[in-house]
Chains A and B, each alone.
Chain A
Amino acid sequence: MIYWDIFWAFFISNLLGYGGGPSTIPLIQNEVVSNYEWMSLSEFGDVLAIANALPGPIATKMAGFIGFELGGVLGAAVALIATILPSALAVIVLFKFVDLFKDSPRVKLMTKSVQPIIAVLLAVMAYQFFITAFQNSGVLHLLLLTLASYLTLYKFKVHPALVIGCALFYGGVFLS
């Protein structure tokens, strides 16, 4: 039952991702690429690239698109519900009791303790993308594009959509 699988994949990745949408990316990748093998890592990379180039929350764009690819509109709806509904309900219900655990050291330590895992998962993904780029386009292009990304995104804070647009253009001209 594909819809059940879609629901479960996105439910699990969002239940375990602390720190907002971006922290769920490696968990979504783990389900979609490694666990269910719905797409290859490079396809997942394309989805992530376009999601990054467009505005708005990333986790819902990923869920909506992957759900749509797998099961049409219903698939997208199932993926979105699994992504949004549990935590949306939780925030509405728990807000009444917010004072009970807002400053609770338990909750704070729990949130903190997950960060190393997310960091490692993201770093491993980054490594995989660099390796793929190295194998497909060689070390020269890899270094050039990575350096350009560092300068534009990190140093000069250029708009990510612009950087991705330029990288697509560069690839279309020099790597085809």
Chain B
Amino acid sequence: MRSLFTKLGRQSGYKERAIRLGTYRDLAVGFARTGVTGYGGGPSTIPLIEYEAVEKYKWVSEEEFGEILALANTLPGPIATKMAAYIGYKVKGSIGAVVAILTHILPSLVAMIGLLGFIYSFRHSPIVSGMVQGVTPVIGFMLAEMAYRFFEKGRKGLGVSRMLLFSIISLVFTEMLGLHPGILIGAFLISAFFIAARKEKAAASKKVIMQRKENSL
């Protein structure tokens, strides 16, 4: 990509600038489109981002997209903005990353501030309070469904009994003893790190023993 720019740049500086700005525009259009068409939060926009980045604009290969996604999944925080950051950075450096993130999040954020501001200005109207009451069970259900999805993920990853045990521990510490969930998450992360490290070591020493056996045979 860059060599193409320098080649074109030699022919005409103006053309080069136009193409550069064009790439910013592509980034802005691509990420704005995924930001306003994906429903259900960042994770649901991932296939849309893949379409723009891999198929349409060919910013990254399918393989690289998969690798970025895997990395984004192992890091905390929202996923869609991590994808936007990396792809924007790869295409156009830091400014590209900023353009991609902002065009991805701003349209729906502005709509949200406008819409909620509008609803809040009628805060004391009985109709609005009725509307809020009407939507409360729906939000409850959406949260319950999300909780269910995390239970399922945990059950697949950890097994039923460990999943239940960890859930009960979480419930007791955060809800009954009022511990900040961050402390519990920290404790879980640290113990997972050491347990996995010990398993790795055990697997490695097993390998050595196996090799010795093979050698002696």
Contact = CB atoms under 8 A, between A and B. Distances in A.
Report whether chain A binds chain B: yes
Interface of A: 12, 14-27, 30, 35, 42, 45-52, 54-61, 64-65, 68, 76, 80, 83-84, 86-92, 94-95, 98, 101-102, 104-127, 129-130, 132-133, 136-137, 141-142, 145-146, 149-150, 153-154, 159-161, 163-164, 167-176
B88 to A, nearest CB: 9
B200 A105 contact: yes
Given A16-B76, A120-B167, A27 B181 contact: yes
Contacts of A145: 134, 137-138
Interface centre among A35, A61, A91 (most CB of B within 10 A): A91
B135 A121 contact: no
A119 B113 contact: no
A130 B140 contact: yes
B1 interface: no
Contacts of A137: 133-134, 136
Interface of B: 35-43, 45, 67-68, 70-82, 84-86, 89, 97, 101, 104-105, 107-109, 111-113, 115-116, 119, 126-148, 150-151, 153-154, 157-158, 163, 166-167, 169-171, 174-175, 180-182, 184-186, 188-189, 191-193, 195-197, 199-200
A92 B193 contact: no
Nearest to B144: A126
Contacts of B163: 115-116
Contacts of B137: 129-130, 133, 141-142, 145-146, 149, 167
Nearest to B72: A91
Given A22-B41, A87-B78, A149-B138, A55 B151 contact: no
B67 A125 contact: no
13 contacts: A57-B108, A60-B78, A102-B67, A106-B200, A113-B191, A120-B167, A122-B143, A125-B143, A129-B139, A129-B143, A149-B137, A159-B39, A175-B131
B181 A26 contact: yes
Nearest to A88: B85
A84 B81 contact: yes
Q: What is the interface of chain B mostly: helix, strand, loop, or mixed?
A: helix
A173 B147 CA distance: 30
A92 B68 CA distance: 9
A25 B147 CA distance: 11
Interface centre among B137, B175, B180, B199 (most CB of A within 10 A): B137
Interface centre among A18, A98, A105, A110 (most CB of B within 10 A): A110
A107 B147 CA distance: 22
Nearest to B183: A16
A64 B112 contact: yes
B166 A65 contact: no
Contact of A59 (B42, B72, B113, B197): B42
